[in-house]
């Protein structure tokens, strides 16, 4: 079950897609719209970034909209910005792909030549971040904006997973060494 937390009052509000056995919330816009994924019959769904939910959702002040990338076997929404642009991941034949959903239209968002791509964050400027696996099996971060792609190497030689981006284009995520995940914050210089 997903939830929101109000830091002013210290209260939480549950988010439960109507009729779903499990719901996970991943992103919230400055307007309070929430996105995530749900499964009608699976009590633990989605399990992580690589196992997408059966369906994605948008919660707009208690009004839920189901999100399904056309032809996919599963869809999860990870981020939403102030304009209502949603990014996320969908799966077909055990391959992960990313999408942008804007004005009722789904668009593929896959790093050029990648084995798989997962978009995890979007800011109000429309800058998308995520990670991908190249043809050699290396995992790298990316930034995407208006048709332009940039690779992000958090720590050269180590896999890096982008988690989110704010309106100043500061990044958060994890890179991985032999001991496990190492969180990072990359701040844009003024």
Distances (CA, A) of 120 to 50, 62, 110: 12, 23, 12
**Among the listed ranges 35-39, 69-73, 115-119, 180-184, which one has the minimum average pLDDT value?**
180-184
Confidence of residue 180 (pLDDT cuts 50, 70, 90): confident
Give the pLDDT mean for 13-39. Answer: 90
In this predicted structure, the answer to whether residue 95 has a pLDDT above a threshold of 70 is yes
Q: What is the pLDDT of residue 9?
A: 80
Which residues face 38 on adjacent strands? 23, 55
Question: Do the beta carbons of residue 35 and residue 80 sit within 8 Å?
Answer: yes
Confidence of residue 11 (pLDDT cuts 50, 70, 90): confident
Q: In terms of Cα–Cα distance, which of 162, 53, 67, 182 is closest to 117?
A: 162
**Among the listed ranges 20-34, 39-53, 136-150, which one has the minimum average pLDDT value?**
39-53
Element holding 145 (H helix, E strand): strand 139-145
Strand (E) positions, 32-125?
Answer: 34-39, 55-60, 63-67, 74-80, 86-92, 95-102, 105-108, 116-122
Question: Do the beta carbons of residue 152 and residue 123 sit within 8 Å?
Answer: no
Check residues 91 and 188 and name the one with the higher pLDDT.
91
What CA–CA distance (Å, rounded) separates 175 from 184? 7
Tokens of 143: 């930034």
What CA–CA distance (Å, rounded) separates 168 from 14? 30
Q: How close are the terminal C-alpha atoms of the chain, in Å? A: 39
pTM equals 0.87
What CA–CA distance (Å, rounded) separates 185 from 112? 26
Element holding 190 (H helix, E strand): none
Q: Write down all domains in the chain, each with its CATH number in brackets.
A: 1-109 (2.40.10), 123-190 (no CATH)
């Amino acid at each position: 079950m997903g939830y929101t937390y109000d830091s002013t009052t210290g209260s939480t509000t549950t988010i439960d897609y109507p009729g779903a056995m499990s719901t996970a919330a991943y992103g919230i816009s400055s307007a309070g719209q929430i996105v995530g994924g749900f499964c009608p019959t699976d009590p633990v769904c989605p399990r992580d970034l690589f196992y997408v939910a059966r369906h994605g959702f948008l919660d707009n002040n208690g009004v839920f909209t189901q999100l399904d990338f056309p032809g996919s076997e599963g869809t999860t929404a990870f981020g939403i910005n102030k304009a209502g642009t949603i990014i996320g991941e969908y799966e077909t034949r055990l391959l992960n792909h990313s999408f942008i959903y804007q004005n009722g239209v789904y668009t593929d968002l896959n790093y050029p030549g990648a084995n798989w791509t997962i978009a995890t964050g979007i800011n109000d400027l429309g800058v998308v971040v995520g990670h991908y696996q190249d043809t050699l099996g290396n995992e790298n971060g990316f930034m995407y904006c208006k048709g332009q792609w940039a690779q992000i190497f958090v720590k050269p030689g180590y896999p890096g997973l982008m988690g989110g981006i704010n309106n100043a284009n500061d990044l958060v995520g994890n890179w991985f060494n032999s001991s496990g995940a190492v969180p990072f914050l990359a701040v844009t210089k003024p």
